[in-house]
A and B are shown apart, each in its own frame.
Chain A
Amino acid sequence: MSVNIIKLKIDGVEVTVPEGTAILKAAKDSGIIIPTLCNLEGLTAYGGCRLCLVEVSGTPKLFPACSTPVGPNMEITTQSDKLKEYRKMAVQMLLAERTHICSVCVADDHCELQAMANQLGVDHVMFERNWSQDEIDSTHDFLVIDRNRCILCTRCIRVCDQIEGVHTLDLKLRGKDSQVIMDLDEHWGNSCSCTSCRKCAKVCPVGAIYIEGEPIEHTKKRDIAEFIVERRNRR
């Protein structure tokens, strides 16, 4: 099947990509990095965190770059005062939602949420913080989940389903009560489907899932999904 190659503009730069490429990828190919949290190369797009919203000329609507395909002659803006304001707002809402204290977090200095806050210049949180106090599940031999640090990006769920292929992880409840669970809400140590493959910990952008006793810089290998997909394709 032949794919149409189309032209469009991202931040004023002319870009040529196959039709249907996600805006995020088209931008990255020409060196323009759009902030993301829930997206991870190698996994399906989710469109949940809303960090990657961009403006498309001709409509007042904002579009998630990770899951919106490019169209011919689109003119896309990835940086503007409004977008910056909105990205800061999203980060503040995430920081206020549960318990995020960098100084006592395993992922300190290796956390994408922290890095995003720094990068965007989030210097305060305009909302009351919600110090959630969910029990930490350390029943697994070495995998630990602290849901107080979870930002519900579902990368762990997607990597478990799409790459490892077991779908141990999923969500329960909805809205602010949503939680990542194992099997039918078992303690991790009791999960009969978990293969202990560690991919969830590697792709978790924050300190919610980590590996007991392993140096954090070793654990947080976010390109694992992309790496596996590439190797599989090569084979």
Chain B
Amino acid sequence: MEKECKVARTGCIGTCSVGPAVLVEPGDYLYQSVTPDKVREIVRDHIVLGLPVKDMLYKNEAYFQKQHRLVLRNAGKIDPSRIQDYISAGGYSALAKCLATMTPQGVIYEVVTSGLRGRGGAGFPTGQKWSLVARSHNTPKYIVANLDEGDPGVFANRTLAEADPHAIIEGMLIAAYAIGAEKGYIYIRSEYPLAIQTLQKAIAQAKAMSLLGEKILETSFKFDLELRFGAGAFVAGEETAILASVEGRRAMPRPRPPYPANSGLWQKPTLIQNVETLANIPLIVQNGGHWFSKTGTPKCTGTKCFSLTGKISNPGLIEVPMGITLREVVFDIGGGVPDGKKFKAVLVGGPSGGCLPETLLEIPIDYDSLTKVGAIMGSGGIVVIDEDSCMVDTARFFTEFCVDESCGKCTPCRAGLARLKEVFDKITHGQGEMSDIATLEKSGVYIRDASLCGLGQTAPNPVITTLRYFKDEYVKHIVEKQCVAGKCFKTRDEEELE
């Protein structure tokens, strides 16, 4: 008996703990932890005989049940190296719809109606940003897609680019049509070679099919797209730093105003948008802003991708509707803390996020609720911390990251964070005094309020939140010289050895 079947490489489906994964269609059969031997079995039983190999199937239903995959609609399902696959999954039809039936104002109207907010961290209403750029008479206008993703432990944008590059390109094309831009850049970090390669191939294919360049889909609309590479600085993802970097200068933020919407690349109106934000756009155009706004919460519509890491049973990349609770994410999807250990805290928002205790797990995930408790949406990093970790050491660790990543322009972030780190070193080496707590609090708040860009403004979050929710650990370190997790008070020699 002969059967024909197609084998294709796809992007990641997000189940990091059980990779490599193989998906057999039709029927959505997902096999986990596949090895060459297992492939033989899958081909023999499933493909040839039509009998799925039950004990190798991915069993963790809960992982996908509470997810809602809009941005990651094609991740793990199509071959990212073939534009045909994207098109047969409905790709570029939103662009066609725009060009054939919608005015630029009409497109912006749908994006405004959708309630979509920027997924790069700040949550600025996307439609409003588009109107600002569209309104300007200054030309040419530019678009920059932000794929810098400099936060450690975050891999959502990379996965998106590796799994569905055309979703980003189509989003950019629609944005370009709406605001009147003819040139765009994707700013991507050099540490993402596969994503770069995938995007380069996708751009070449789109050009070959007249989806990029002149006379797109045989209309007068033209748009050219280039990649620009970052050199691995967290701060380069900040929007004014990106502008400097794309122009070929040092990636240092500058004060706003002027905002990039008025004066961006080469002082021209520029739309800077995170790639996850952009990947939502084709869906909004295709189904309407009103349809989109029904997912999530009224003030915070749609979904958000989160990178789940740390002490969690099912690490991976997930996409959930806004408004889902932290508990659902950590325990229902993430499977809670492994090895019977106790949950201690969850860091939401990457290295400059907030450390939240168990009592706050019922809060819904949306920009405003997170900000209220001292965390941020950030780029969607969620790190679960168990009883083996020391909260003072955790705050010290993330402060050190921000010390290293500070660009050095403004006093609070450059000189201030380094001082915080010194106070932490003092405490974790047993020389802490009670007055150090006040020093941390006072300087943390100052750095947050006085820094030039978002890096310094959010960097003290781990310090401020651990002081708010885990102050007893600080006191224990200082008064009793005790670390509940046994992490601190090592001599410098012991640290060297580690």
Contact = CB atoms under 8 A, between A and B. Distances in A.
Contacts of A48: 409-411, 452
A50 B406 contact: no
A26 B404 CA distance: 37
Nearest to A47: B255
B446 A86 contact: yes
Contact of A175 (B250, B405, B451): B405
B419 A90 contact: no
A96 to B, nearest CB: 6
A67 B403 contact: no
Interface residues of A, number: 33
Contacts, number: 97
B408 A171 contact: yes
A64 B408 CA distance: 17
B438 to A, nearest CB: 9
A152 B452 contact: no
A175 B422 contact: no
A64 B233 CA distance: 25
Contacts of A50: 410-412, 450-452
Contacts of B422: 127-128, 130
A224 B255 CA distance: 25
Interface in A38-69: 45-50, 53, 62, 64, 67-69
B455 to A, nearest CB: 10
A94 B408 contact: no
B36 interface: no
Interface in A126-176: 126-128, 130, 151-152, 171, 173-176
Which of B233, B411, B446 gathers most chain A CB within 10 Å? B411
Interface string B431-453: 00000000100110010011110
B414 interface: yes
A93 B403 CA distance: 14
Given A86-B446, A176-B406, A68 B257 contact: yes
Contact of A49 (B410, B416, B423): B410
Interface in A71-115: 85-86, 89-90, 93-94, 96-97
Interface string B447-491: 001111000000000000000000000000000000000000000
A217 interface: no
Given A64-B255, A127-B419, A174-B233, A93 B411 contact: yes
Interface residues of B, number: 32
A96 B422 CA distance: 11
B408 A177 contact: yes
A148 to B, nearest CB: 14
A30 interface: no
Contacts of A90: 411-412, 450
B242 to A, nearest CB: 16
Contact of B406 (A45, A127, A151, A174): A174
B408 A178 contact: yes
A85 B412 CA distance: 13
Given A47-B255, A171-B250, A176 B449 contact: no
12 contacts: A48-B410, A62-B449, A68-B255, A89-B412, A89-B442, A93-B411, A93-B416, A126-B442, A128-B426, A175-B406, A175-B414, A176-B415
Given A68-B257, A93-B411, A178-B414, 20 more contacts: A48-B411, A50-B410, A50-B412, A64-B452, A89-B412, A89-B416, A97-B415, A97-B418, A126-B439, A128-B419, A128-B422, A128-B426, A130-B418, A151-B411, A173-B408, A175-B405, A175-B407, A175-B414, A176-B406, A176-B414
Q: Sort A-B residue pairs by CB-CB distance and give the 9 closest, nearest first.
A: A178-B408, A47-B255, A175-B406, A93-B415, A67-B255, A97-B415, A127-B419, A176-B418, A175-B408
